Amino acid sequence: MQLDLMTLVSHCATESERFYRGQQHNTSFSYELFRRALVERDEAAWEQLYQHYCGLVEGWIRRSGAFVSSGESSEYFVVGAFTKFWRALTPERFTSFPTLASLLQYLQLCATSVVIDSVRAQSWSEMLPEETISPQYTPSYAPDEEAMSRVDREEFWRFIDGQLHGEVERVVVYCSFALGLTPRAIFARRSDLFSSVNDVYNVKRNVLGRLSRNTHLKQFLDV
């Protein structure tokens, strides 16, 4: 396309409005805006892309189950999502996303993961003293980088699972540290296992206390 940037942005707005109304629409304008921003690294195009999609990204973030327990504003995560998207989707990788839908799906992945990463980081600091946490187990920045550490994390979680006593503890640990849920949210989800929110707190406190005293866990993290 040879359209100037503002004309392109105007077409993007028009076609997006048609999409939201359930009308026939053309995605090529928005795809071109992404291309200019990500392949050409055009800062003006990137700024317009941000303005055009920040509301959509904020909606994804607010619907994330981990957002309520994050303690951060949605605006904070919007910036993080776009930054993650920018860094992960290099010009060389752009051809791997041949449609607007694929680009938006990846942007949504980034939006969800920055919220989950934030909650996980808080959970890690609660589970163990900061100095005992190896960098390989802290949240990574790009989705690709996180995939690279999957084997290490799976080994770690197998170790943790071996230290837990029964389904109740496994539910609390998984929901707290993998899903980023609060004890109240865990109780709402699995009231069949707990008689009150205090039961969730007690199980979580007992597990954390036991893990913090586990010398094998510290040795595992120091490897």
- Do residues 33 and 45 lie in contact, with contact meaning Cβ atoms separated by under 8 Å? yes
Check whether residue 52 and residue 12 sit in a common domain: yes
State the residue range of the domain holding 157. Answer: 149-222
Q: Calculate mean pLDDT across residues 174-203.
A: 84
Q: Calculate Rg over the CA atoms of the chain.
A: 21
Average pLDDT, the chain: 81
Check whether residue 102 and residue 202 sit in a common domain: no
Check whether residue 11 and residue 75 sit in a common domain: yes
Tokens 């040795």 appear where? 219
- Do residues 36 and 61 lie in contact, with contact meaning Cβ atoms separated by under 8 Å? no
Check whether residue 108 and residue 166 sit in a common domain: no
Residue 32 lies in a domain: yes
- Do residues 34 and 100 lie in contact, with contact meaning Cβ atoms separated by under 8 Å? yes
Residue 127 lies in a domain: no
- Do residues 171 and 188 lie in contact, with contact meaning Cβ atoms separated by under 8 Å? no
For residues 25 and 117, which has the higher predicted lDDT (pLDDT)?
25
Check whether residue 76 and residue 177 sit in a common domain: no
Check whether residue 32 and residue 96 sit in a common domain: yes
Residue 142 lies in a domain: no
Report the number of distinct structural domains present in the chain: 2
- Please give the Cα distance from 119 to 8 (Å, whole number): 38
Check whether residue 91 and residue 11 sit in a common domain: yes
Residue where a domain terminates, one of 94, 117, 140: 117
Check whether residue 24 and residue 98 sit in a common domain: yes
Check whether residue 106 and residue 163 sit in a common domain: no
Burial of 23 (0-12, 13-18, 19+ CB in 10 A): exposed
Check whether residue 18 and residue 98 sit in a common domain: yes
Burial of 127 (0-12, 13-18, 19+ CB in 10 A): buried
pLDDT at 63: 87
pLDDT at 121: 66
Confidence of residue 142 (pLDDT cuts 50, 70, 90): very low
Structure tokens at 206: 């007992």
Check whether residue 13 and residue 107 sit in a common domain: yes
pLDDT higher than 50, residue 138: no
Q: Which of 121-125, 126-130, 137-141, 187-191 has the lowest mean pLDDT?
A: 137-141
Check whether residue 39 and residue 110 sit in a common domain: yes
pLDDT at 154: 64
Residue 50 lies in a domain: yes
pTM above 0.85, yes or no: no
What letter does residue 72 receive in the DSSP assignment?
A: S
